[in-house]
Structure 1
Amino acid sequence: MPDHSLTRRHFLAASAATTVYLTTSQAGHADEMTFDFITPFSFSLAFGAVLYADAAGYYAAEGLTFRPQSGKGAALAAQMVIAEQMDAGRTGGTNFILSRVENDAPLISIATIAQLSPFFVITSGEDPADTVEDLQGRTVGMASLGGSMEGTLDLLMRKGGFDPDSVKKVKVADTAASYALIEAGRAGAFIGNTSSMIKAQSESEGVHAFAMDDGMPGQVYVAHPDVIAANPEKFIAFLKATHKAAAEIAALPQDQLDPILQAIGGKFDVSGLDDVETARSDLYTNAQNWVAKGDENLLRNVPEVWASAVEMLFEAGMITKQVDPTTLYTNDLLESALA
């Protein structure tokens, strides 16, 4: 398997070279750096850390011109980064590990933004599902077939001793509107992120949900090692600004998030901001996931979590190779950002 890890020596050498370049070349001034970032789906408060960092001017203060783009699934987001069309993107931890180990995808995790899975199984209170066992024989909607949601479901099914093929999987939008499919009898459940779950519960009565806690790194920021090596300074700048924004949001009580929401809404088209109470709950719940492993681990790839994840996936038969989990991620960029 090709070595896609970013060694500390590789990182430090590239960083030193980039620093020299930035201080000697007019074309390479830090204030002219662009950073292209892709989210897996349309902008929502699940992506509040990067949206607020941009709206508040934190990226600009670090010399970055931040250019976010919404994608159409976690798999596509990863593919755009692999193709070097994006500097970094957000995808599911399970999906990333599978792609890296089984397909030799040239990616590395530079940060874990959601320490736990942000996904929920959403059903009707009239026919609720409380565990994945209850999903057998049901049609389950999800935004990305072959992506993070399906990977999370398959892992939970296998861990529970159930056949993932006992669930009929169909593609639906990761929005609260997908609950209408359940009400119409066209689906028995759908998988949504934290934002979709909260909005569905606020808009419809009887919405039932359970968290898909699979023990994996929830959502990660991935990048191509070659792109990092070519200019590590802009990744350091990206993480420094993102950490500042995420820490600011996570430190606030739910009833004090209005200025954050207003800043995000002033720059980005994010659905649901007109319902302030729901938006507060949405952002607050997402932010608690960012610091679920402690404030000190905000954005950090927690080694114990990654070691457990690799072992779990191997035991479940979802990866066929035993790999060193430390080759899948780097914390060097984050450490430099926080130094």
Structure 2
Amino acid sequence: MSSISTLSGSRVNRRGFLSGALGLAALGATGALSACGSGAGATSAAGGSLKEFTYLSYLPMETLSVAPELLADAGGYFEKQGLKVTFQTTKGSPQALQTLISGVAPLTRVGAIDLITAAVDGQPLVNVGSIVRGSSIRTLYSMDTPLTKPEDFLGKTIGVPSEGGTSDKSLSLMLHKAGFDPNDVKRQVVGLGPGTFELVKRGDISGYMVSIDQSIIVSQQFAGEAGVFDAGDGVRADSQIYTATTDGLEQHGEDITKYLAAIREATQAIVDDESLDGVIETLRSKYSFASLDSDEVARESLTQSRALWTAKGTQPLLTTVPEYWTEGYDELVDAGMVEAGADPAQWMDNGYLAAG
């Protein structure tokens, strides 16, 4: 089974990536992010040895937001590509990028907002595949004080998983594109468990941002009390992409291509399984957590997710549409989140996607 571990960490700003990365490189030298499990003796079904590969996840692995990874593991798609993958979780996207830049691991998935923001500041990052096209973040609120449109957020306090992380930035961009000042919405770092909704009921916060499956769980637990705001796909930069560094691509390009091939095959399997019965059975053969263990939550979460993976059936899996990528950069420039004058095409490369 793939190993799952967690790094502790703190908030970093955009210009603090390299200094933080140096410390994380030292961690890597002592084996803090080394692959676990059966080790160098692992073999594929065909009898060949498996190549160790560490993937950085800014999300905990106990969520269907990372269903492509989980199915690629449980369904043998990584093994088919000759990889033995270790999932290494971090404390949000800022630390995932720190760790990636340090060279400890070759690949992560973050928001397009995160990559573009860091790349403008000179970080050597490359988008090698788009997995989520549209917002996969949901804002939970109380039906007593609904948040059904951007203007409802004004003057409110919204809970976010981390300050300066993907959710925080996505909220700012959504507000700006709707014509509002993001500073008119306060942020509070909160936990992501279902119990956080009690803070909303007490009025401590007006809502908080969670993954799709967590929003479904809370909606069921607090039926009639909890509402869900979906920002939709109106913001191009509110997408999630697989990210590598230029050095990482030089050193691990072949393995990154294999990893992405496994992800694409696993994602296609989820798209093709209309009932999702086979997918859920395969996932449960290796994993168990709240949203997966519930038939209703698992089906609804995967249904919403596959619409995002395919842009509602309009885009090929993982391929980044150059025009959309440029539009995402332009949105961030217009919002004052990055400087103008850069060429976003230099930060994306579809060449690591195997034909298929």
Same fold per superposition (TM over 0.5): yes
Matches within 5 A, 1:188-337: 188-205=206-223, 206-213=225-232, 214-253=235-274, 256-292=275-311, 294=313, 296-334=315-353, 337=354
Compare the two structures and name the one with the higher helix fraction: 1
One-letter code of the match for 1:116? G
- TM-score w.r.t. the length of structure 1 is 0.85
Q: Which amino acid in 2 is paired with 1:184?
A: R
- Counterpart of 1:90 (choices 109, 123, 127) is 109
Aligned to 2:66: 47
Instruction: Show CA shifts across 1:68-87 (max 9, x none).
Output: 12222121112111111222
CA deviation map 1:238-277 (0-9, x unaligned): 1111100001101222xx2233223223323433222211
Q: Distance in 2 between matches of 1:233 and 1:104?
A: 25
Normalised TM-score (structure 2): 0.81
| Number of matched pairs | 306
Residues 59, 65 of structure 1: 8 Å contact kept: yes
Q: Deviations over 1:282-306 (max 9, x none)?
A: 1221121101163652111111111
In structure 2, the partner of 1:12 is none
In structure 1, the gaps of 5 or more residues are 1-28
> Bigger shift: 46-55 or 271-280?
271-280
1:249 alignment partner, SS class: helix
Amino acid at match of 1:338: A
Unaligned residue ranges in structure 2 (runs of 5+): 1-43
Counterpart code for 2:262: A
Kindly provide the amino acid, as one letter, of the partner of residue 219 in structure 1.
Q
Match of 2:139 in 1: 121
Corresponding residue for residue 144 of structure 1 = 162
Match of 1:338 in 2: 355
SS of residue paired to 2:139: strand
Q: Distance in 2 between matches of 1:176 and 1:300?
A: 34
Q: C-alpha separation between the residues in 1 aligned to 2:349 and 2:192?
A: 30
Residue 178 (structure 2) pairs with residue 160 (structure 1): yes
Q: CA deviation at 1:139?
A: 1.2
Shift of 1:197: 1.5
Which string of whole-angstrom CA distances, capped at 9 and with x for unpartnered residues, describes residues 296-318 of structure 1? 52111111111111111112211
Deviation for aligned residue 1:132: 2.1
* Overall identity of the aligned pairs, in %: 28
